[in-house]
Amino acid sequence: MVLSEKIQEYIQKLPPAFQAEALDYLEFLLAKAEREDKEWSRLSLASAMRGMEDEPELYTLADLKVKYS
């Protein structure tokens, strides 16, 4: 049996008040997972960029400008 099916089976056995409580808890867990995902992404980017502020600039804004005649 797949995990999601087992969870659904258990929830269906609960009285309605406990089903509502289970739903609240699942929503809490989902929000927590989304926050951790965002924090991990932010941490990964910060780790990747660490030390780059000390590197010399290779390009200027003038290098990015395109001249059309």
Predicted structure pTM score:
0.52
Q: Show the tokens assigned to 56.
A: 């010399």
pLDDT tens-digit series, residues 36-57 = 877 777 767 777 777 777 788 8
Q: What's the N-to-C CA distance of the chain in angstroms?
A: 68
> Quick check: 9 pLDDT over 60?
yes
Q: Which amino acid is at 29?
A: L
Q: Show the tokens assigned to 24.
A: 């609240």
